[in-house]
């Protein structure tokens, strides 16, 4: 890896080969971050990074399976050896399934919880420890409206995992706050993303849009820009919070 000036902050995004993770990585890169895009799809992560920076000096892709703590440790070591200690972690990787609740097998339930919730836990644990030791860090976890209202089109396992992420965010915020590390969650509702259109039949999606007070799907670019804001040094008083983007479906 090419070592860049220390004044350029470093961020890592999981599940960044496509979808919202790729959009978030792009906005972090546009904001001046060096970004490590990680994904279980190594080729996809590398392609997404190349699209941001063909030279590899400010965007790189790396294979990372969020089920494995060793993969997070390896990613951290990879960053330290090349760019330095990351200031920002975005736990975005998730498996989104829409299986009806009475048809979910025990194996499928565990798989979704492991990828979504355990993956977030491991990221917070490994990177949170390193950031806490350094005295500074920003962690942003991708939760969901589904974790707040039980889901509108997503599966029960997905909704349960996202509810767990909201709680994990509070736990790690308390654990790391005195060490200069903030931990927040963003909770998007239905987004205008290819993955959403692929997961939900068109007629069902049209019905969902009718139930949204603003009558449209969410803009992933706006969510990504909020992640960048929460990742900033100025966001030192925001921690343990969940930031909602749901068009008015869920109002506190």
DSSP letters, the chain, are: -----TTS-EEEESS-SSHHHHHHHHHHHHTT-EEEEEES-HHHHHHHHHHH-TTSSSEEEEE--TT-HHHHHHHHHHHHHHT-S-SEEEE---------GGG--HHHHHHHHIIIIIHHHHHHHHHHHHHHHHT-EEEEEE--THHHHS-SSS-HHHHHHHHHHHHHHHHHHHHHGGGTEEEEEEEE-SBS-HHHHHHS-HHHHHHHHHHSTT-S-B-HHHHHHHHHHHTSTT-TT--S-EEEESTTSS--
Let me know if 33 is a catalytic residue: no
The rounded distance, in Å, linking the Cα atoms of 83 and 56 is 11
Q: Check 33, 158, 172, 245 and give the catalytic one.
A: 158
Residues shown for the chain:
252
Q: Which residues are catalytic?
A: 158
């Amino acid at each position: 890896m090419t070592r860049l000036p220390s004044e350029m902050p470093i961020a890592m995004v999981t599940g960044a080969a496509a979808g919202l993770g790729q959009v978030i990585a792009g906005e972090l890169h546009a904001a001046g971050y060096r970004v490590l895009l990680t994904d279980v799809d190594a080729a996809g992560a590398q392609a997404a990074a190349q699209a941001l920076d063909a030279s590899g000096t400010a965007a790189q892709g790396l294979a990372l399976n969020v089920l494995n703590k060793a993969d997070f440790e390896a990613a951290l070591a990879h960053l330290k050896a090349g760019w330095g200690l990351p200031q920002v972690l975005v736990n975005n990787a998730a498996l989104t399934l829409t299986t009806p609740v009475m048809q979910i097998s025990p194996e499928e339930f565990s798989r979704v919880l492991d990828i979504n919730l355990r993956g977030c836990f491991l990221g917070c644990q490994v990177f949170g420890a390193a950031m806490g030791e350094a005295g500074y860090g920003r962690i942003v976890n991708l939760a969901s409206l589904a974790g707040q209202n039980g889901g509108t089109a997503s599966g029960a396992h997905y909704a349960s995992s996202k509810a767990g992420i909201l709680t994990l965010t509070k736990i790690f915020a308390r654990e790391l706050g005195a060490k200069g590390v903030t931990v927040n969650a963003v909770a998007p509702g239905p987004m205008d993303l290819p993955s959403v259109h692929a997961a939900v039949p068109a007629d069902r999606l049209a019905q969902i849009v009718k139930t949204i007070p603003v009558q449209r799907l969410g803009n992933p670019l706006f969510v990504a820009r909020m992640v960048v804001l929460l990742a900033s040094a100025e966001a030192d008083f925001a921690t343990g919070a969940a930031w909602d983007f749901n068009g008015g479906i869920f109002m506190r």
